[in-house]
Amino acid sequence: MHPILKLVAQRLALGLLLLFAASILIFVGTAILPGDVAQSILGQSATPEALANLRAELGVDQPAITRYFSWLGGVLQGDLGTALTNGRDIAESLSTRLGNTLFLAFWAALIAVPLAITLGLLAVRYKDRWPDKLISAITLTTISIPEFMIGYLLIFFLSIQLPLLIGGMEFLPDGLQSWLLSNLRFSSVALMNDSMTLIEKIKSITLPIMVLTLVVLAHMMRMTRAAILNVMQSAYIETAELKGLGMLKIIRKHAFPNAIAPIVNVVMLNLAYLVVGVVVVEVVFAYPGMGQYLVDHVSKRDVPVVQACGLIFAAVYIGLNLIADIVSILANPRLRHPK
C-alpha cells in the first residue's frame, strides 16, 4: 500500500477512536452535572412520586452504562433523541441551528482565511518595516478586544452612527443618498429565515462576519508570518535569491509550499473556533445558531440536547484537525514521493 494511504487511514481510525472517547467524556460530564431535569421541569413544589414518575418516563433512572449505550446506539443510527424540556426531536431542531452556524462560519472563513494569509505574506515581505508593524498592531488590537465589545462597537458605529451620518450629508444628491442609506445598512440583529434570499441572508449577518473575521485574523496572520519566516532561513531561499528572483516570488514559490503544514494547522484550529466558539457573537446579534441553542438547554438541564451539541462540536473539532493532519501529510514531498 502507498505509505500515504496507510498514514491517512491511520489518522482516520485515530479520529474515530478519539470521537468515541469524546462521546464517553461528554456522557460522563453531563451525568455528573448537578441538578435534576425532573425537578427543573416540575418545579420546587413537585411531590417525590411525581418526580419519580417523570424520571422513569424520561428514562433517567436507568444505570449510566445502559443509558450510554442506548444513547450511542441511537446516535449511530442518526437518532439524537428528544429534548426533555419540549419533547421535540433533537436532530430536527439541531439541523437548522447547525446549518445557520455553518453558514456564518463559512462566510467568515471565506473572508478571514485568505485575508490572514495575504497579510501574513505581506508582513514577511516587509518584515520589520512599517507595513509589517501596522498589520501586527491592527490584528493584535482586534484580538485583544473581547468579541462582544467589538460586536457592540460595530453596531454602534455601523448600524447606528453611519445612517445618521449619511442622512446628515445634505450635499449629496437625493438619489445617491437614498441608495447609500438602503445599501449601507448593517443590521444589528442577524435574522435568519427560510424565505430570505442568499443576498439578504448575507446582508443580515454582515456584522457577525466582521466580528468573527477580526477575532480570528491575528492568530492565523501571526502564524503564517512565523511559519514563512522560519522557512526563509533555509539555504534554498538563498539559492532562490542568488537566482535573481524577487522577494514576493521567492515567498510565493519557494517559502509558502514549505510552510503549508503549520499554516493549515492554525487555519483549521480557527475554523473550528468559528463553529464551536461563536456563542458570544450569536448572543450579541441574536443569531439562531448552535451556540445559543446549547446555552439555552444547559440552563434548563436538558441533558440529551447538551450531549448532542457536545458530540457535534467534538466531531467538528476532530474532523477539522484531521483534515489539517492529512493536508500536512500530503504537503510533505518525502511522503508523497517516497524513494
Partner 1 sequence: MTDPLLKVRGLKIGATIYPPGEKSRDIEIVHGVDFDLEPGKVLGLIGESGAGKSTIGLASMAYGRGGVEITGGTVEVNGRDILQSGLRDVRRLRGAEVTYVSQSAAASFNPAKQIMEQVTEAAIFQNKFSKAEAEARAVELFRKLGLPDPENIGARYPHQVSGGQLQRCMTALALCPEPDLVVFDEPTTALDVTTQIDVLAAIKEAIRDTGVAALYITHDLAVVAQVSDHIMVLQQGAMVEYGTTDQIINDPQEDYTKALVSVRSITHEEKKPTATPVLKVENITARYSGTNFDVLKDINVELHPGQTLAVVGESGSGKSTLARVITGLLPPSQGSITFDGRPLTPDLATRPLEDLRELQMIYQMADTAMNPRQTVGTIIGRPLEFYFGLKGAEKQRRIQELLDEIELGEGFQDRYPAELSGGQKQRVCIARALAAKPKMIICDEVTSALDPLVADGILKLLLELQKIEDVAYLFITHDLATVRAIADSIAVMYQGSVVRYGPKSQVLSPPFDDYTDLLLSSVPEMKLGWLEDVLAHRKMESAGN
Binding site for partner 1 (CB under 8 A): 234-236, 238-246, 254, 257-258, 331, 333-334, 337, 339
CB of 128 to partner 1, least distance (A): 13
Cβ atoms 220, 259 nearer than 8 A: no
Cβ atoms 190, 207 nearer than 8 A: yes
Question: Distance between CA 192 and CA 107 in Å, rounded?
Answer: 15
Question: Distance between CA 12 and CA 190 in Å, rounded?
Answer: 36
Question: Can you say how many angstroms the Cα of residue 130 is from the centroid of all Cα atoms in its chain?
Answer: 31
Compare residues 326 and 331 and give the one whose CB is closer to partner 1. 331
Compare residues 237 and 305 and give the one whose CB is closer to partner 1. 237
Compare residues 6 and 88 and give the one whose CB is closer to partner 1. 6
Compare residues 81 and 262 and give the one whose CB is closer to partner 1. 262
Compare residues 127 and 203 and give the one whose CB is closer to partner 1. 127
Question: Distance between CA 69 and CA 56 in Å, rounded?
Answer: 17
CB of 114 to partner 1, least distance (A): 21
CB of 232 to partner 1, least distance (A): 12
CB of 136 to partner 1, least distance (A): 23
DSSP 191-246: ---TTS-HHHHHHHTHHHHHHHHHHHHHHHHHHHHHHHHHHHTSHHHHHHHTTT--
47 membership: H or E segment, kind and range? none
Find the helix packing angle between 64-76 and 3-31, rounded to 10°. Answer: 140
Question: Distance between CA 302 and CA 102 in Å, rounded?
Answer: 23
CB of 243 to partner 1, least distance (A): 4
Compare residues 29 and 257 and give the one whose CB is closer to partner 1. 257
Compare residues 88 and 243 and give the one whose CB is closer to partner 1. 243
CB of 339 to partner 1, least distance (A): 5
For 275-297, letters b (16+ CB in 10 Å) and e give bbbbbbbbbbbebbbbbbbbeeb
Compare residues 37 and 240 and give the one whose CB is closer to partner 1. 240
DSSP annotation of 82: B
Q: Is 129 helix (H, G, I), strand (E, B) or coil?
A: coil
CB of 261 to partner 1, least distance (A): 11
CB of 259 to partner 1, least distance (A): 10
Question: Can you say how many angstroms the Cα of residue 83 is from the centroid of all Cα atoms in its chain?
Answer: 24
